[in-house]
């Protein structure tokens, strides 16, 4: 508390007068003989307690009068924050901050943003002619506003053209930016007008409130005017999809996926039978209902089987509420297409489990697998028309003839997948000679780590030592799943020649044995891919085929070699962020289009990646190739920041306390109320005390 005339406080000593009078008043009462003394005594007895209270009240009132008047004359003023300088009064340079975050799209018939724009227009209208102003539309990445000026028309058109975004807004940062802009104006008084729905996620209340440089250079709290665009709504009810997981549901068949989406009720009322659906285009593929308690979260899983492979662009949706933007979430889902695989069995056997192709056939045709297998012996299989297949598997096949090898090479070059496994029928020299251009690396010789009938075979046999789990082929084999790989024993395996440095289509070794010899090598050949397993896929050279990892690895070989395994990184992008695209090979990207058809800025990165964005709205973004056609596999979905769906509001009291009660002027756009200095209250108190004192005396 500060005092304008502190010396006036000496007058407060006058408050001691009633006490001194009480203590030192020694006036002797006039003696008066009186006949009816009994009546006097009875009257005094009757009124004693009332008189005592009356005297006490009189004493208090007189003390109050004598105390209030000198304190009022001292002109006291309350300052809550001693560190902050006082607010400078008078005409003020004004910055209007218009919240354009996603939450402002909330609508009960009239969107909050429309109301906010009206409030901003009113704020402009309320300015005095001598008050310069600026406007900052607060988005996810706000730009510093221009210094305050007097071009009201430009500011009004800025407000008129403003649109609510789909991103979060950091109002604390926007207030700071506006405060910096105000500092550029020499007018001593500054004012920030915040037009917002006052959602809690938009404020960082742990940060200090905005200040501007005062006339002395010391930080001064600017006057803050809060205009609540959601006035009258204690709670902004909203529910939203806050998360979505799409996983293959192999047990339900090929191309079946489970959509698990997390729904949250940010409102104060329970929600029953809320419709949740998976849609592609206009058709609804699956639908369910969820119940949500107030403030609660629930998960809903819907299973969808897609009739065919390819990239699916769709949405999961909720029944729309007041904020429809977060009631839907787009997805881009690569659905594996049906694959045709030709298994060329180099060592057929009448006993099924001794057959070279038995385990491979079982793995590729397991439930949920999209692979359709045709098994042939070497003689027939190599004469097949490979173009009818997506994948050819050579299992312990003697080296094909030159024509057959040429067919195979052409098949791979044109985009086919080739898997080669070793065995007793594989001749390294013949393979190198006939299939040299196709092999990831030339074969050298067979190495035997242990004989199968050796009692110490368990210890002598080779095991996988290093597996490139970062590669898409082995990426699932981490943790406990890795045990299935490293537990396999390899009695024999083919050693490979070293890769010739600088050779085109260099190979990649994805797994090695303990001695460092390659176990799995892959290479790109033209548009196709080749994978080489240096041991057998039956139990002749290893027991890998009976290990738990065999089935999933073979399925991944099939998917990888046919290009249907999602090798690219899943593009996860939120509104306001940029998407990084990695087109494979020589594919070119001409442009990226937003859901509304507008073009998104694309920047090329040195390593060949492309950065598109920042994206401004949720939905599916289409990537167009050099030919102008949509590259579905590169398309990506942008999603909303889930926290922006939380429309919990900051109580006005909290905001007032945050900005400082002495600085917050108005809260709802009402006419400014004149401030009442403290001394007027004191004078009022003294007058009331005087009145009551007189009333008591008359009684």
Partner 1 sequence: MLLDAQTLARLQGVKLRARAVMEGVLSGLHKSPHQGQSVEFAEHKEYAPGDELRHLDWKAYGKFDKYYVKRFEHETNLRAVMVVDASASMGYRSGALSKLDVATTLAGALCYLLVRQQDAAGLALMAGGKWKDVPPRASAGHLNVLLDTLEHTTPTGATDLGSAADHLAEVLPRRSSVIVLSDLLDENQDALRRILALRQRKNDVSVFHLVDPAELTFPFDDPTLFIDMEGQGRVEVNPREIKESYLEEFNGFLASVKAACAEADVDYDLVRTDDKLDDVLLRYLSRRGRRR
Least Å distance between CB 52 and partner 1? Answer: 11
Tell me whether residue 34 or residue 129 sits nearer to partner 1 (CB atom).
Answer: 34
Asked whether 211 and 232 are in contact (CB, 8 A), the reply is no
Least Å distance between CB 654 and partner 1? Answer: 53
Least Å distance between CB 13 and partner 1? Answer: 27
Residue written as tokens 């997981």?
245
DSSP code at position 274 = E
Helix H, strand E, coil C: the string for 641-661 is CHHHHCCCECCHHHHHHHHCC
Least Å distance between CB 34 and partner 1? Answer: 4
Tell me whether residue 51 or residue 684 sits nearer to partner 1 (CB atom).
Answer: 51
**Rounded alpha-carbon distances, angstroms, from residue 110 to 101, 104, 117, 322, 429:** 16, 11, 12, 10, 79
Residue 32 token pair: 């008066």
Tell me whether residue 41 or residue 218 sits nearer to partner 1 (CB atom).
Answer: 41
Range 557-588 burial, b when 16+ CB lie within 10 A, else e: bbbbbbbbbebeeebebbbbbbbebebeeeee
Least Å distance between CB 686 and partner 1? Answer: 25
Least Å distance between CB 36 and partner 1? Answer: 5
**Beta strands 92-99; 133-138: pairing state:** parallel
Asked whether 396 and 536 are in contact (CB, 8 A), the reply is yes
Tell me whether residue 37 or residue 684 sits nearer to partner 1 (CB atom).
Answer: 37
Please state, in angstroms and rounded to a whole number, the distance separating the CA atoms of residues 653 and 142: 27
Tell me whether residue 16 or residue 41 sits nearer to partner 1 (CB atom).
Answer: 41
Tell me whether residue 24 or residue 34 sits nearer to partner 1 (CB atom).
Answer: 34
Least Å distance between CB 56 and partner 1? Answer: 14
Please state, in angstroms and rounded to a whole number, the distance separating the CA atoms of residues 68 and 360: 99
Least Å distance between CB 19 and partner 1? Answer: 19
Instruction: Calculate helix-pair angle for 17-24, 37-73, nearest 10 degrees.
Output: 150
Tell me whether residue 90 or residue 694 sits nearer to partner 1 (CB atom).
Answer: 694
Tell me whether residue 47 or residue 478 sits nearer to partner 1 (CB atom).
Answer: 47
Least Å distance between CB 18 and partner 1? Answer: 16
Q: Could you give the 3-state DSSP secondary structure of residue 77?
A: strand
Neighbours of 630 (CB within 10 A): 14
Tell me whether residue 28 or residue 673 sits nearer to partner 1 (CB atom).
Answer: 28
Binding site for partner 1 (CB under 8 A): 27-44, 46-47, 51, 54
Q: Could you give the 3-state DSSP secondary structure of residue 122?
A: helix
Phi-psi region of 415 (alpha: psi -120 to 50; beta: other; left: phi over 0): left
């Amino acid at each position: 508390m500060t005092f304008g005339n502190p010396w006036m406080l000496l007058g407060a000593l006058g408050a001691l007068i009633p006490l001194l009078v009480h203590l030192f008043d020694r006036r002797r009462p006039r003696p008066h003989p009186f006949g009816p003394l009994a009546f006097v005594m009875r009257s005094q007895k009757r009124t004693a307690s009332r008189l005592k209270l009356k005297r006490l009240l009189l004493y208090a009132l007189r003390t109050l009068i004598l105390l209030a008047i000198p304190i009022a004359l001292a002109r006291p003023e309350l300052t809550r924050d001693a560190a902050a300088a006082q607010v400078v009064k008078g005409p003020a340079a004004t910055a209007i901050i218009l919240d354009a975050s996603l939450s402002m799209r909330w609508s009960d018939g009239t969107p909050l943003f429309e109301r906010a724009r009206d409030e901003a227009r009113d704020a402009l209208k309320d300015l005095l002619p001598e008050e310069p102003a600026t406007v900052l539309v607060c988005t996810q990445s706000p730009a510093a506003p221009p210094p305050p000026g007097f071009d009201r028309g430009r500011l009004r058109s800025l407000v008129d053209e403003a649109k609510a975004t789909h991103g979060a807004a950091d109002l604390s940062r926007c207030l700071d930016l506006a405060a910096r802009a105000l500092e550029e104006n020499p007018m001593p008084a500054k004012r920030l007008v915040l037009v917002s729905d006052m959602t809690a996620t938009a404020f960082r209340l742990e940060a200090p409130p905005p200040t501007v440089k005062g006339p002395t250079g010391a930080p001064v709290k600017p006057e803050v005017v809060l205009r609540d665009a959601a006035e009258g709504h204690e709670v902004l009810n909203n529910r939203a999809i806050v998360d979505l997981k799409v996983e293959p549901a192999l047990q339900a068949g090929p191309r079946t996926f489970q959509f698990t989406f997390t729904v949250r009720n940010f409102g104060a009322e329970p929600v029953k039978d809320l419709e949740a659906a998976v849609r592609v285009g206009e058709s609804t593929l699956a639908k369910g209902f969820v119940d949500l308690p107030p403030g609660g979260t629930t998960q809903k899983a819907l299973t969808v089987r897609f009739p065919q492979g390819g990239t699916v662009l769709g949405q999961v949706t909720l029944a729309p509420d007041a904020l429809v933007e977060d009631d839907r979430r787009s997805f881009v889902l690569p659905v594996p297409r049906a694959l045709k695989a030709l298994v060329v069995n180099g060592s057929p056997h009448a006993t099924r489990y001794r057959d070279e192709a038995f385990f491979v056939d079982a793995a590729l045709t397991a439930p949920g697998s999209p692979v359709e297998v045709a098994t042939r012996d070497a003689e027939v299989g190599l004469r097949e028309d490979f173009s009818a297949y997506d994948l050819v598997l050579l299992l312990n096949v003697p080296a094909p003839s030159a024509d057959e090898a040429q067919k195979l090479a052409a098949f791979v070059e044109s985009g086919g997948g080739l898997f080669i496994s070793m065995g007793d029928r594989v001749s390294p020299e013949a393979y190198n000679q006939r299939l040299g251009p196709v092999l990831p690396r030339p074969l050298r010789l067979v190495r035997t780590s242990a004989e199968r009938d050796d009692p110490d075979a368990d210890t002598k046999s080779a095991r996988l030592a290093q597996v490139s789990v970062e590669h898409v082929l082995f990426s699932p084999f981490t943790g406990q799943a890795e045990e299935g790989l490293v537990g396999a024993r390899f009695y024999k395996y083919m050693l490979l020649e070293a890769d010739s440095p600088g050779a085109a289509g260099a190979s990649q070794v994805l797994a090695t044995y303990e001695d460092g010899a390659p176990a799995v090598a892959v290479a790109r050949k033209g548009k196709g891919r080749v994978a080489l397993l240096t041991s057998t896929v039956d139990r002749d050279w290893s027991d890998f085929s009976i290990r738990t990892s065999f089935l999933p690895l073979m399925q991944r070989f099939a998917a990888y070699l046919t290009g249907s395994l999602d090798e690219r990184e899943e593009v996860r992008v939120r509104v306001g962020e940029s998407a990084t695209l990695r087109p494979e090979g020589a594919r070119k990207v001409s442009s990226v289009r937003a859901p509304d058809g507008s073009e998104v800025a694309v920047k090329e990165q040195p390593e060949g990646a492309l950065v598109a964005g920042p994206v401004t709205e949720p939905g599916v973004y289409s990537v167009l190739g050099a030919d102008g056609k949509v590259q579905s596999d590169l398309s990506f979905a942008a999603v909303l920041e889930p926290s922006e769906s939380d429309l919990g509001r900051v109580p006005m009291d909290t905001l007032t306390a945050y900005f400082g009660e002495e600085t917050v002027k108005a809260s709802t756009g009402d006419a400014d109320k004149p401030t009442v200095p403290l001394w007027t209250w004191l004078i009022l108190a003294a007058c009331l005390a005087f009145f009551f004192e007189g009333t008591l005396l008359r009684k």
